[in-house]
Amino acid sequence: MTIRSFWLPLGLTLLAGGLLPLQFAVNGALAGQLHSVTLTGAVSYAVGALGLALLLALGRQRPDWAAGRQAPRWSWLGGVVGSAYVVGSVVLTQRLGTALATTLVIAAQVLTAILLDHLGALGLKRRRVNPARAAALALVLAALGARLWEAA
C-alpha cells in the first residue's frame, strides 16, 4: 500500500464524516423554516438527487441498468433508509442539539457496523468481533456516555 493509496481515502473519509454534523445543522435550520421534518427530508433528497443527476450527466461512467436488475431487491432500499435517517437526524438535532445527536448517531453506526460485519449480513464480508473492534466500540460508547452525562 502506497502512502497516497492510504492517506487520500482516509482524508476523504474524514471529510465525509465531517459533513455529518453539517448536514444535521443545515437540515435542522431548513426544518425550522418549513415547519415539517418530512418536507425537509424530501427537499434534502430532491436537491441531492439533482446534484447526483448532474454528476452522472457530466461523468464518464454510465449506469449498467441491466446488471442492476440482477441486484437483490433489498439493495434498492437505500433511499428509504436514508430518508428515515435524514428525518430522524432532524428530529434528534432539534431536540438534543447537534453534538449529542451526532454522538448518538455515530455510536449507533459503529454498533450496527460491527454487528453487520460480524454476521456478514447483506452480502458483506464476514469480519468477526475481535479485541480491537470491541475496544473501538467501548471508546465510542464511553464518548456517548460523556455526552449524555454533560447533557443531563
Question: 35, 26, 42: which is closest to 83 by C-alpha?
Answer: 42
Tell me the CA distances in angstroms from 73 to 69, 76, 78, 117, 124, one per residue in order: 9, 6, 11, 20, 16
Q: Is the dihedral of CA 70, 74, 79, 85 positive or negative?
A: negative
**What is the pLDDT tens value at each position of the chain, 152 positions in all?**
676 777 888 888 888 888 888 998 999 999 999 999 999 999 999 999 999 999 999 988 888 888 989 999 999 999 899 899 889 989 988 899 888 998 899 999 999 999 999 999 999 999 999 999 999 999 999 999 998 898 88
| pTM of the predicted protein model | 0.76
CA angle 25/56/10 to nearest 5° reads: 55
